[in-house]
Amino acid sequence: MSMIDISSLQLEQLKEYITGLGAKPFVAGQIYRWLHQRGAQSFDEMTDISKSLREKLSQQRYITGLSIRKKQVSKDGTIKYLYQLSDGNCIETVLMRYQHGNSICVSSQVGCRMGCTFCASTQHGKVRDLAAGEILRQVYATEKDIGERVSNIVMMGIGEPLDNFDNAVAFIKIISSPQGKNISQRNISLSTCGIVPRIYQLAQLKLGITLSISLHATTTEKRKVTMPITNAYSVEELMQACRDYTKTTNRRISFEYSMIKGVNDTDEDAQRLARLLKGMISHVNLIPINPVDGSPYTQSDDAVIRAFQKKLQNLHVNATIRRRLGQDISAACGQLRNENR
Ligand code: SAH
């Protein structure tokens, strides 16, 4: 049997395990704080835990580790990390500096199997899911490296978080727990290409996070061309799931819309988008598509993007144009993973 990563366990699960070893429940709280508040990387560091228990723990469990393989700093201050996991696989994490604080973009899988034609992360398929501890470690290792706290998290790095549902949810619960980093769920966004049954499942959990939907097209036919997930779930089914999500959670949904020249940037697209969002509490993020090797797409012209935004606003849709950070180090959306295989 392979060893289990102790930092992937939620507090209740840790309690169960620790009491099973004959220790008091509060000891689980101590270990949890060592792992998630202080970022302990070994059981030896946990000096207020009895030596015999520490020995038992290190025989039965491990603490997953991350090491920096490469670090690139953009002229706008964005940092891209190439982190190596315990098994040698690599993932990327991006740290963005804003006036309101540090925001981190974490990966949820090694590679991705969703196959969106404009995205670099999926070009070689999925290798494996990340454990919750491996998503958490991206935050801890980055905070340690910069010597500052992270205040916002976006699950928009490599991978599809809803294709790694349980671990993504465990990550959110642990990172937002008072005995952990206590990062408010309000400051966490989860981005998905739209795995419809998982959106319904997520709604039931009533988390306080922001759900971001990568929409990028306004009809099922058009979306099938760039986003294969649309073969499984139509745009109509996706929008129904979004309406249901808002109804159940009372949370506003954010829609990502990459602007691709000649593909999805016409007046009719803007009109259709407004119609899809009619009556919903939503926000649209317009993202000029970033160039990715081997993909034929180019960005819509700035004037076209601004006109698209104006059109949406006239139709009472809340829309902003996303700032492009880290382009000089290929850290922008869709550019991760390519250079480091
Ligand atoms: N799998 C998730 C999260 C990772 S992608 C999802 O699909 O949402 C994060 C965001 O970057 C998504 O909105 C994705 O569609 C977008 N993206 C991917 N490639 C891009 C590119 N080349 N230019 C701009 N945005 C891109």
Q: Give, using CA atoms, the residue closest to atom 25 of ligand 1.
A: 333
Q: How far is the CA of 335 from the centre of ligand 1 (A)?
A: 9
Considering only CA atoms, which residue is closest to atom 6 of ligand 1? 192
Interstrand relation of 188-192 and 210-214 (parallel, antiparallel or unpaired): parallel
- pLDDT value for 317: 96
pLDDT at 1: 39
What pLDDT score does 324 carry?
73
Looking at the chain, the domain(s) classified CATH 1.10.150.530 span 4-62
For residue 314, count other CB atoms closer than 10 A to its CB: 10
Q: Does the CB atom of residue 290 touch ligand 1 within 6 A? A: yes
CATH 3.20.20.70 boundaries in the chain: 68-339
Instruction: Check pocket membership of 160 for ligand 1, CB cut-off 6 A.
Output: yes
Series of mean pLDDT values for 10-residue runs along the chain (341 residues): 83 97 97 96 96 96 94 93 95 93 97 95 94 97 97 97 98 98 98 98 98 98 97 98 96 96 96 95 93 87 96 96 78 64 54
Residue 340 confidence (pLDDT): 57
User: Hey, which residues are catalytic here?
Assistant: 92, 333
pTM of the model: 0.95
Main-chain phi, psi angles of 98, to 5 degrees: -120, 165
Tell me which residue has its CA closest to atom 24 in ligand 1.
Answer: 289
139 CA to centre of own chain: 12
Q: Whose CA is nearest to atom 12 of ligand 1?
A: 214
pLDDT for residue 334: 65
The class of domain 4-62 in CATH terms is mainly alpha
Ligand 1 mean position, distance from CA 27 (Å)? 41
Instruction: Evaluate: CB of 192 within 6 angstroms of ligand 1.
Output: yes
> What confidence score (pLDDT) does residue 337 get?
59
Distance 156 CA to ligand 1 centre (A): 7
Pocket probe mutation, ligand 1, options 93, 119, 163, 190, max atoms within 8 Å of Cβ = 119
Q: How much is the pLDDT for 42?
A: 95
Q: In terms of Cα–Cα distance, which of 311, 270, 332 is closest to 78?
A: 332
Tell me the CATH number of domain 68-339, given options 3.40.50.300, 3.40.640.10, 3.30.930.10, 3.20.20.70: 3.20.20.70
Containing 307, the helix (H) or strand (E) segment is: helix 302-314
What's the CA-to-centroid distance between 227 and ligand 1, angstroms?
11
How many Cβ atoms are within 10 Å of 264's Cβ, its own excluded?
26
